[in-house]
Structure formats: structure tokens, C-alpha cells
Structure 1
Amino acid sequence: MTRGGKLEKVLAGIEAASQQGFKTIKLNTVVIHGQNQEELKDFLQYTITQPVNVRFIEFMPIASQKDNWLQGYAGVKEVFTICQDEGWVYDKLKLSGNGPSENYQIRGAKGSFGLIHPVSCQFCESCNRLRVTADGCLKSCLYWADEINLRNKLDDAAAFYTAVFTALHDKPKNHQMALDEQDKVKKRQPTWRHMSQIGG
């Protein structure tokens, strides 16, 4: 969960947030083959005892990750197999504000889990997300390099509005992260940014 530090502090922070009345606590985990697949069951068990929404995300070929992406890619639907093996019955949920996440809940659980699978199940046509990077650029898609600098528009409401409207209007209808799309000629330039620079 933390790539370092003390897991106990993170879990204590989640517990404190829950006790303070936060209704939605989302925990994102990127599923990477050979690194954390064996932890999927633990995350699912965590949703049974804690009121959190654990979201399993497919490893995406973005920026430098493209070099080792195929070795690390693992589909997220393995969580269904784990549920079946453990005898956990789950129901599909409709949660507002969860974007592309397909959400489910194990019966009797306090929390829920979601699947975000842009590689195996492209959802571009229904995506309504915009991202603002730490250096003030607006991205309509995390995969492509297209972005608009917002920093020089902060004092001009009309220019700011136009930039946001343009980003929404020009949202790409597809990306090329799928397995059968990797070798095709790209009509746009893929992003040079790492995921940590783009934000969630």
C-alpha cells in the first residue's frame, strides 16, 4: 500500500478517517504480476471488516512503464475467481462519484471493491474525467500527451472557462493501451509524464 514507511501508520490513519465520519474512503491498488497478486485476497478481506472501497486497477503502459509493462500486466478480474474460491457471494453496486470503477460488495461486508480496467475493457466513451497536474496543466486523458496550461489563465475567467470547455470537447474517443493496439500507428503522441506526475 505504501511502497515503504510503516503500514501500521497508514492503517491507523484509515481507521481514524472512518471514525471521523468520512463516508467514502477509496484505496487504489495497481495489480502487477509477480509483485502483489498474492495480496488481492488480503485486500478483499479488508473490505469485509472495514468500510472502505478498494479499487483494483490494471497496470497501464504509460511513459517509462511501457518498457516492462507486458511483464507486469495482470487482468483485475482475478478478484472474481478469489471470491468464488473463498465462497464469497458479491453483488454489483452503483456508487456515485466513482468514475470508471465497476463496484461490487461481498455480502455482509462493511466495505466494497471496484475494478478499473482500461486495458482489457476500454471505457473512453463514458469517461468524464479531467486531471490537473501538479504544475498546473489540464489533461483530458491520462494516456495522451495533450494538455493545456492553466497557470497563465488563472487571472482571466473567460480564458480559463474556454480552456476547460476545450479539454472537455476534445476528449479522445479512445486510447491505445489495449494488447492488440500496441503496435498500431498512433494518431496522437502518448504522454511523457509518469503516473505520479499526472495524478489520480
Structure 2
Amino acid sequence: MTDRLVDSFGRVHNYVRISVTDLCNLGCQYCRPGSSLGCKVKSELLSFDQLAALVEVLAHMGVTKVRLTGGEPLLRPRLEALIGRLSRIKGISQIGLTTNGMLLGPRASLLRQAGLTDVNISIDSLVPERYAGITGGGDFNRVIKSIESSCKAGFDKVKLNVVLMHGVNDDEIEAFLKLTVNYPLFIRFIEYMPIGDRIQDWRSEYMPAESILMRCEEKGWQIEPAGGSGSTGSTGGLKDELQEEHEISGPARYYRIAGAAGEFGLISPVSRHFCGSCNRLRITANGCVKPCLYWNEEWDLKPYIGDEEGLRRILLQSLASKPLRHEMTIVPKDIASQPYTLRQMSQIGG
């Protein structure tokens, strides 16, 4: 193995998120604000050959998990072919997909057969009209069918991503939690992040992930850390646990309602950041590496693809400049001089 992907703080990076397109068929208010359905952003996308060559080098450097994102990744033609190629690269053990679910239903089985191991489906409301409003016209019923198809396809995990927004969907928290009682789903509540140019709008809609535990306490539900030895009987210990550093396996802390078939997770990049054990790199749709989602720094990889030594060098260079943490905070700050990212989430790939 060539040099491992370790930054100046000793964090080992074994996970890469790759945006395969910045096009999307939705216009979610926190991802592509002001966008209309079908709005296009022109980028020089990496070819499948380039993406496979890039992942080969990343695998040599210790990456084991790849997640394909967008925009909407299923807008990229023949995505199954790319997944098949990536699944055959030695060292890659997981290939995930983050999607809005609009195009997933009819393709779920083919994607699974190609080598896709898990799917994350974004669904920020269980009310069809509200869902359409949040997404700029999305079809709620198509997403539900995609969830059903994904469960039948046999993925290792089917996760539902819910961005928490005060005054928008926080009255649906209980409904989402009840889904985990009856179905083997992983509902992940994600704090609304200040990405792009909607800082003021973000602040008014932000709410901490810890409020989910408070809702459970109010309902009198017994919850326990997923995989724990037993129910806590209350949320007191869980709140304390939320203060601890997250595990290297990912940013979500998972919990289970007593007797539930599924689990729910909390992802809290703002209220309780998990930068200290960040293990991921992000590749934008136009072939740049972003070592941190929040900061603006990125390096163009395109000139180095095909040159393993050059590519290895630029990847290590990007990691050498990765800061210890981001500066996402609900506390008002003078951010005018801060080089935070101006890309929208759809342009980064989450």
C-alpha cells in the first residue's frame, strides 16, 4: 500500500464521497435554494474511466468505502456500469448511494446486482404537499415506492435522511420515529448546515439534533444506543453520551426505541461537531477534492488522473491543509473574512 490518507492531526481517511453530477431533478430549499426543477449546472464531469482510476489510487491509499452522490446521481446515465467497475476494485468493500429517490424505484434491483451495498434516501416530510414544497415539486409517492423497492432489493441498509428544520418539518419528528418501530429502517435526523449563501435563512430554521431525544423523553419512550445491552429507561444517559466523540465508522449516533424493528440516528455537525474523527474526503462533480465540507479550499485532481504518483501527491497535499474543525455554529459570527464554501450542497456532493 502507498502512503495512507492521514492528515496532520492523525485522522485516517478511509471513506470518499464522489459527486457524479451536479444536475438535479429537484430544488430542495437547503441544497439548491432558488432552483427550479430540472435546473442545470454545467460542469466538466469526470468520465467513468477517470472515476475508476481515481478510486483505484484511493483504494491503494486505504479507502474502503465509496459513496456516490450528486446533485442526483441517478441522472448520470449507466450508473450501474460505474458501480460494477468500482465494486471490482480490490479493497473497496462498501459502495453506497445518496439519492432523492425520484428515479430509484425501477432501478433498485439492478443497482444491487451491480454491487451497490446500501442506499440513503432523502425524505424531509411525510406529508405529500409539504414534501413537494420543500423539494420544489418532488413526487412523494415515487419516493415511497423507491423505499419499498430498496427494501425488497436486499441492500445491507436502507437509510432515510431527514434534514431538521424548525417551523418546517419539526412537527413530524414523532411520525418519523414511529416508522422505525414497524419497519427495519434507519431514520437519520441531520442538523441543517450553513452551506452556501443562505446563512441568515439557515439560522432561523436550525434546530439541534438533541431535540429528538427530548421528544422521546416527552413521549415516555424507552430508548437505548443501538447495539446496547439494554434500555436506559430514560434519555438522561443518552444525552451525556451525545457529548462524547463519535466513532470512526460514521457521524451518526444510532438509537432504538424499545422493541422497534429499526433505528434512528442523530447527525449533529453544528451542535456537537464530529470533526475530531472525520474520516472522509469529498470529490466534486468537476473533479476537485474538498478535504472539509465547510471550508472553501479544494484541489483540482483532473490533471493528475492517470499519474498515480501525482495524484497521490495532490491528495496528500489537500489533507495536509485540512483544518482541525469547521466553524459551523448557531452563535452569530462575523464570517465576512472566513473562507467558508460558497458552493451549494448540490455542487459539493454532501
Unpaired segments ≥5 residues, structure 2: 1-122, 124-130, 228-245
Corresponding residue number in structure 2 for 1:117: 268
Corresponding residue number in structure 2 for 1:183: 334
- Provide the secondary structure at the position in 1 that maps to 2:255: strand
In structure 2, relative to structure 1, the CA distance for the partners of 1:174 and 1:185 (3 Å cut) is farther
- Provide the secondary structure at the position in 2 that maps to 1:70: helix
Deviation, 1:89, is 1.3
- The answer on whether the counterparts of 1:124 and 1:172 sit within 8 Å (CA) in structure 2 is no
Deviation, 1:169, is 3.2
Q: For the aligned residues, what is the CA RMSD? A: 2.1
Deviation, 1:131, is 0.8
1:47 and 2:180 matched: yes
CA distance in structure 1 between the aligned counterparts of 2:262 and 2:248, rounded to whole angstroms: 16
- Provide the secondary structure at the position in 1 that maps to 2:285: coil
Q: Which of 206, 231, 238 matches 1:73?
A: 206
- The answer on whether the counterparts of 2:190 and 2:267 sit within 8 Å (CA) in structure 1 is yes
Structure 1 consecutive aligned stretches of length 4 or more whose deviation exceeds 4 Å: 94-98
- Provide the secondary structure at the position in 1 that maps to 2:256: strand
- The answer on whether the counterparts of 1:57 and 1:116 sit within 8 Å (CA) in structure 2 is yes
Corresponding residue number in structure 2 for 1:31: 164
1:5 and 2:156 matched: no
AA of the residue aligned to 1:9: R
1:199 and 2:338 matched: no
CA distance in structure 2 between the aligned counterparts of 1:97 and 1:44, rounded to whole angstroms: 25
CA distance in structure 1 between the aligned counterparts of 2:285 and 2:220, rounded to whole angstroms: 43
CA distance in structure 2 between the aligned counterparts of 1:144 and 1:96, rounded to whole angstroms: 23
Deviation, 1:48, is 1.5
CA distance in structure 2 between the aligned counterparts of 1:97 and 1:88, rounded to whole angstroms: 28
Corresponding residue number in structure 1 for 2:285: 134
1:84 and 2:217 matched: yes
Normalising by structure 1, we get a TM-score of 0.90
- Provide the secondary structure at the position in 2 that maps to 1:54: strand
AA of the residue aligned to 1:149: D
1:100 and 2:270 matched: no
Corresponding residue number in structure 2 for 1:16: 149
Unpaired segments ≥5 residues, structure 1: none
Deviation, 1:167, is 2.7
CA distance in structure 2 between the aligned counterparts of 1:130 and 1:48, rounded to whole angstroms: 34
Normalising by structure 2, we get a TM-score of 0.53
CA distance in structure 2 between the aligned counterparts of 1:178 and 1:75, rounded to whole angstroms: 11
- The answer on whether the counterparts of 1:144 and 1:189 sit within 8 Å (CA) in structure 2 is yes
- The answer on whether the counterparts of 1:93 and 1:105 sit within 8 Å (CA) in structure 2 is yes
- Provide the secondary structure at the position in 1 that maps to 2:273: coil
Q: Which of 317, 320, 324 matches 1:169?
A: 320
Deviation, 1:98, is 5.0
Deviation, 1:6, is 2.2
Deviation, 1:62, is 1.7
Deviation, 1:165, is 2.2
- Provide the secondary structure at the position in 1 that maps to 2:315: helix
Deviation, 1:67, is 2.8
Deviation, 1:144, is 0.2
Deviation, 1:83, is 1.3
Pair member with larger Rg: 2
CA distance in structure 2 between the aligned counterparts of 1:161 and 1:50, rounded to whole angstroms: 43
CA distance in structure 1 between the aligned counterparts of 2:311 and 2:247, rounded to whole angstroms: 27
